[in-house]
Amino acid sequence: MKVLLIGVGGVGESAAAIIKKADSNSEWMEKMILADYDVAKAERLSKKLGEDRFPAEKINARNSNEIIDLVKKYNVDMIMNAVDPSFNEVIFDTAFEAGVNYMDCAMTLSKPHPEKPYEKTHIKLGDYQFEKAKQWEKKGLLALVGSGVEPGMADVYAKYAQKHLFDEIEEIGVRDADNYEVEGKTVAFGFSIWTTIEECLNPPVIWEKDKGWYTTEPFSEPEIFVFPDGIGPVEIVNVEHEEVLLVPRYIDCKKVTFKYGLGQEFIKFLKDLESVNMDSKDMKIKVGDSEITPRDFLAKTAPDPLEIGKIMKGKGCAGTWVKGKKDGMERSIYLYQVADNQECLEKFGTQAVVAQTAFNPAIMMELIAKGIWKDAGVHGPENFDPDPFVERMSKYGFPGGLMEMDSEYKSKMEAEELMKTVK
């Protein structure tokens, strides 16, 4: 497979490093072109990886002609979009025009309802892409959307739970938190500040079988969720995220939610940004002879997440909580993956937040390259068999876990184990 990787920021760099390590014999990744507007960054990464199969190129991700020129130059099979979602429409459409497959970590952006933003949806995450699904299918091309950790791995976990762990599913809720700390900083972005503002301040989406998709206020419905591996109890709140738009398309259940552990200090920070319009992605302000949006300004001035990662300590947990029935009994489980920042720095040279995102598209690329995952159209990860993905997680350095939560089913399991010891 030949892949044009657009964007060599944290996720792009991590994906390339993970692929180099996991596919050290070039079994399935023939070439990955490292393309970025900052060509010096791409060249540094190419030199760091030290292989001819990772060449560097300059690209403007909003320029279709430049993208197509690189597709033709290297005869690529797939475009991997690793820039922020504001570029998605252009890159997605250009991949279709160029006749190559496409992947991204986050889908095309939403637009709130103009009159009732905290009640009704308007343009939902991924609507732009799914509206063109028939065109992609007719052309025999695959657009795999939402291939990161959340969305991505979390969606695979939902499908895995449906296939192996439940007979009926009532609710699927993606749950995410961490205990990261950066000495000397009360607020630190371990991921794209642009994307963080987007998903946290937009109206969160919830799906219910009898209501469809609807919205609520940002940071609503707080609850305490106990995370594994020493992270412990964390308050989590509703946040807009792609899983809620993907899971109901493929999995029969009654409700889908996404909640994230932001912390009250961080929530206050985001609200303060909003109160002075620093979250705006539409307002243009003139700086010298140029114009820039407040959010783009923040993204340029905020510390680089990769640099923050070098001094960050702690773990991040991403996963999918599923509640339903198994063998006629109530069951509740949490499928998860925990990434330790120090371990990620040692293994891959990148921090945990971006590495935990990047290993998922790396696995998915392998599955597509080998024909294990194959289809045409626009699809989320739920469309495919989850087993080959889950089987590869440990090989890629990101083993998963399953936490059996208190339930009727768990009590039965424990009773059965006790009887075995008695016998």
> Which CATH number characterizes residue 195's domain?
3.30.360.10
Boundaries of domain holding 70? 2-148+352-398
Q: Is residue 26 part of a domain?
A: yes
Q: Is residue 419 part of a domain?
A: no
Angle at alpha carbon of residue 351, lines to 47 and 104, rounded to 5°: 80
Residues 51 and 167 in one domain: no
Chain centre distance of CA 308: 20
User: CB–CB of 336/400 below 8 Å?
Assistant: yes
> Quick one: CA dihedral 352, 356, 361, 366, positive or negative?
positive
Tell me how far apart the alpha carbons of residues 108 and 130 are, in angstroms, rounded to a whole number.
10
Q: Per mean pLDDT, which range of 24-38, 270-284, 380-394 is the poorest?
A: 270-284
For 47-105, how does the pLDDT look when each residue is reduced to its tens digit (9 = 90+)? 999 999 999 999 999 999 999 999 999 999 999 999 989 999 999 999 999 999 999 99
For 338-360, how does the pLDDT look when each residue is reduced to its tens digit (9 = 90+)? 999 999 999 888 899 999 999 99
Whether residue 414 is predicted with pLDDT greater than 90 in this model: the reply is: no
Q: Which residues of 237-252 are buried (b: 16+ CB within 10 A; e: fewer)?
A: bbbbbbbbbbbbebbe
Residue position matching structure tokens 């002075």: 276
pLDDT for the residue 182:
84
Whether residue 327 is predicted with pLDDT greater than 90 in this model: the reply is: yes
Taking phi first (over 0 means left), then psi (-120 to 50 degrees means alpha), and beta for anything else, what does residue 401 get? beta
Residues 356 and 380 in one domain: yes
Whether residue 188 is predicted with pLDDT greater than 70 in this model: the reply is: no
Residues 15 and 94 in one domain: yes
Residues 205 and 301 in one domain: yes
Q: Is residue 339 part of a domain?
A: yes
pLDDT for the residue 190:
67
Could you tell me the pLDDT band of residue 300, with boundaries at 50, 70 and 90? confident
Q: Is residue 205 part of a domain?
A: yes
Residues 265 and 293 in one domain: yes
Reported as type and span, the H/E element at residue 58 is strand 56-58
Residues 256 and 286 in one domain: yes
pLDDT for the residue 311:
85
pLDDT for the residue 152:
97
More confident of the two residues 413 and 43 = 43
End-to-end, the C-alpha distance of the chain in Å comes to 55
Q: Is residue 422 part of a domain?
A: no
pLDDT, mean of residues 291-309: 83
> Quick one: CA dihedral 20, 39, 103, 296, positive or negative?
positive
Could you tell me the pLDDT band of residue 121, with boundaries at 50, 70 and 90? very high
Could you tell me the pLDDT band of residue 184, with boundaries at 50, 70 and 90? confident
Q: Is residue 420 part of a domain?
A: no
CA-nearest of 64, 6, 70, 10 to 35 is 6
Q: Is residue 421 part of a domain?
A: no
Residues 265 and 314 in one domain: yes
pLDDT for the residue 310:
81
| Residue 110, domain CATH | 3.40.50.720
Whether residue 177 is predicted with pLDDT greater than 70 in this model: the reply is: yes
Structurally, how many domains does the chain consist of? Answer: 2
More confident of the two residues 420 and 218 = 218
pLDDT for the residue 220:
96
Residues 117 and 161 in one domain: no
Residues 268 and 358 in one domain: no
Residues 40 and 88 in one domain: yes
Mean pLDDT of the chain: 94
Angle between helices 88-98 and 64-74 (to 10 degrees): 40
What percentage of residues in the chain have a pLDDT greater than 90?
A: 81
Residues 171 and 288 in one domain: yes
pLDDT, mean of residues 206-214: 97
Q: Is residue 144 part of a domain?
A: yes
Residues 286 and 249 in one domain: yes
Whether residue 234 is predicted with pLDDT greater than 80 in this model: the reply is: yes
CA-nearest of 388, 377, 228 to 316 is 228
Tell me how far apart the alpha carbons of residues 104 and 126 are, in angstroms, rounded to a whole number.
11
The two structure tokens encoding residue 309: 């990662």
Tell me how far apart the alpha carbons of residues 339 and 10 are, in angstroms, rounded to a whole number.
15
Whether residue 191 is predicted with pLDDT greater than 80 in this model: the reply is: no
User: CB–CB of 193/187 below 8 Å?
Assistant: no
pLDDT for the residue 416:
83
Q: Per mean pLDDT, which range of 82-91, 365-374, 413-422 is the poorest?
A: 413-422
pLDDT for the residue 66:
97
> Quick one: CA dihedral 341, 347, 349, 353, positive or negative?
negative
Could you tell me the pLDDT band of residue 187, with boundaries at 50, 70 and 90? low
Tell me how far apart the alpha carbons of residues 317 and 338 are, in angstroms, rounded to a whole number.
4
More confident of the two residues 228 and 415 = 228
pLDDT, mean of residues 258-284: 91
The two structure tokens encoding residue 195: 């994307």
